[in-house]
Amino acid sequence: MQRYFSNKKINNTFLLNEDDWYHINTVMRNKNGDKIEVVYENELYICEIKNNQANIIEMVKIENSINKNVCLVLPLLQEQKMSLVLQKATELGISEIIPILTERSKIKITDNSDKKVMRWQRICKEAAEQSKRLDIPKVYDIVSSFNKLDVEGFKMVCSTREKENTLKKVLKNNLNCDKIVIVVGPEGGLAPSEEDFLISNGFIPVSLGNNIMRVETVPIYLLSVLNYVME
């Protein structure tokens, strides 16, 4: 059954947005009487479609499977790579994404950055529906530099300079935290001054080993590993 997220409930009915109704009517070709899943405030409901309304039939009790709180601080990438990372990160259980402008980012902030963030948020919503999540990862507004980044939790930065602190070592000692924040670099890596700034602000530098990965592979790799070790 196809899943949709709603953020408004009126009596026994959920409001869905235009994109959802397009998907329901035109892509899925659902008819009156067909059933869909609707998630509202992290709870799952089975609903029946009637004249572009989603009427609640029943609430489904699901054991709490909300993911551990993982926040990815992601440099601006080409749109295609950005979409890939957002989609895969959502499948792999990410909870927050903070897009950031880095010294070596080739992509710049433009006037339509609000629209971009909305687009990224939509990608996460769709991926969350597909992977049957009960929550949608939150995409924050683009942060203009690391000294404007304000995050709490166990903080890591992927480093190519670091040799001692492997991911395995670091995770072994720090999995009992409430929230993990990971900074990955852009193509060309973080500038040494950026890495130094982060380290002096409590970020632990982490080596990802010998494999050389493309920029968009790094967050997918990291989130796969976190998913595995936290399972």
Residues that bind a copy of itself (CB under 8 A): 65, 84, 87-88, 91-93, 130-132, 166-168, 209-214, 217, 220-221, 224-225, 227-228, 231
Strand partners, 47: 36, 56
Cα–Cα dist 203/30, whole Å: 49
Q: Please report how close the Cβ of residue 224 comes to a copy of itself at its closest, in angstroms.
A: 3
Q: Please report how close the Cβ of residue 167 comes to a copy of itself at its closest, in angstroms.
A: 7
Cα–Cα dist 40/60, whole Å: 11
Q: Are the C-beta atoms of 138 and 118 separated by less than 8 Å?
A: no
Closer to a copy of itself at the Cβ: 15 or 204? 204
Closer to a copy of itself at the Cβ: 71 or 94? 94
Cα–Cα dist 104/187, whole Å: 7
Q: Please report how close the Cβ of residue 62 comes to a copy of itself at its closest, in angstroms.
A: 10
Q: Please report how close the Cβ of residue 215 comes to a copy of itself at its closest, in angstroms.
A: 11
Closer to a copy of itself at the Cβ: 91 or 103? 91
Cα–Cα dist 152/178, whole Å: 10
